[in-house]
Structure 1
């Protein structure tokens, strides 16, 4: 990944925690898709945004830290993911590689959550990689009202979003954990794909 001009974000901030889910079988495909890629590789500017977010979080909550679940993703992995969901209701959760993939494929997106003082993820209402409305951020008040997520889980999501947005990240509607550093148009025009 260094050959793609990516940096290991944990080298910039050793308080960050990293557990790359696609380097394990604990993901929606139930297999290791990344092989030996176990570090959080990102474009330098994006990595510095993650560090800024973590520092801002720690300034407010000293015992909390960000946990990175996914970062740069090779296009070959994106193709495997897409193949598994194409033609299903879950295809809305995976970027089509024929259309240039997603921001992960440019090293410009990160999936994160927050760890508490005991190293446990704060409850967010769903597991990471959950395909369903409960993971969406655009109807959280309704999710709380109908008992799909709790008020505490919504508060935790709001903390995560506020932390990441203040560092310059953008959200997407369907995944509480996903944050883009740039627009897709900017990435396609200015950044090389990761193969």
Structure 2
């Protein structure tokens, strides 16, 4: 169990709603649908859904971004993710790592344990326990990046979902290299817009933000010494 999963959830019952297409850019076709992830049994007819309050915060983040970067947009890479899709992506990532390491299948138990621990550094456990939902399965978490006025991606220095230390938000923060300083600046622009709208950022992933879920509550409480918050979004 990860520390944020100990946070209490008081489900508010807010519905999942589509992210308004006119406000944002989208990764189309959706990256996990291309791999065959099982969205067909989902409670939403698209991965691009979030809780209503999270959509409102996302719109506020876009407004904040355009105050200093008028023609830039937030690009939605992923949003609502059913537990079945979480399981699919954990399995897919495991297999990718195993192949890259030259493992024979079936993977031996000791090797399997090493790989799965590596996977779970970046992917949440696809738990069906209502007390410990994967963040994306709550409809309160999303993966985002930025595009310019021509819909070209802003270079963040590493791709979304890369399993390496380059994914850490401040990985390039102390670099003296001019290009890497630019990557850090781009990550900060994204972070500043999202934080200003009430989101919190995953400690290990520059692209992952949430509001109202267990991770958001845990990160918020770690910042505040006063009153403690709980999660308002559980598994949807």
Same fold, TM exceeding 0.5? yes
- Show the counterpart of 2:9: none
- Show the counterpart of 2:137: 105
Q: Which has the higher contact order (CA 8 A, sep 6+)?
A: 2
- Show the counterpart of 1:51: 59
May I ask how many residue pairs the two structures share in their alignment? Answer: 181
Could you say if the C-alpha distance between residues 141 and 189 of structure 1 is closer, same or farther in structure 2, counting changes exceeding 3 Å? Answer: closer
CA contact (8 A) 1:102 1:184 kept: no
Could you say if the C-alpha distance between residues 95 and 101 of structure 1 is closer, same or farther in structure 2, counting changes exceeding 3 Å? Answer: farther
Give 3-state SS (helix, strand or coil) of 2:195's partner.
helix
Could you say if the C-alpha distance between residues 167 and 34 of structure 1 is closer, same or farther in structure 2, counting changes exceeding 3 Å? Answer: farther
Structure 2 CA distance, aligned partners of 1:155 and 1:171? 16
1:76 aligns with 2:106: no
1:114 aligns with 2:146: yes
Deviation per residue, 1:100-159 (Å, 9 max, x gap): 3422110000111110111111000001111100110144324x24x5x61111100000
Give 3-state SS (helix, strand or coil) of 1:150's partner.
helix
- Show the counterpart of 1:28: none
Give 3-state SS (helix, strand or coil) of 1:112's partner.
strand
- Runs of 5+ unmatched residues, structure 2: 1-13, 95-111, 219-229
Structure 1 segments of 4+ aligned residues over 6 angstroms from their partners: none
Could you say if the C-alpha distance between residues 40 and 114 of structure 1 is closer, same or farther in structure 2, counting changes exceeding 3 Å? Answer: same
Structure 1 CA distance, aligned partners of 2:46 and 2:153? 19
With normalisation by structure 1, the TM-score equals 0.81
Rg: which structure is higher?
Answer: 2
Structure 2 CA distance, aligned partners of 1:60 and 1:115? 14
With normalisation by structure 2, the TM-score equals 0.68
- Runs of 5+ unmatched residues, structure 1: 25-30
- Show the counterpart of 1:6: 16
Deviation per residue, 1:85-109 (Å, 9 max, x gap): 3731232111012363422110000
CA RMSD in angstroms comes to: 2.6
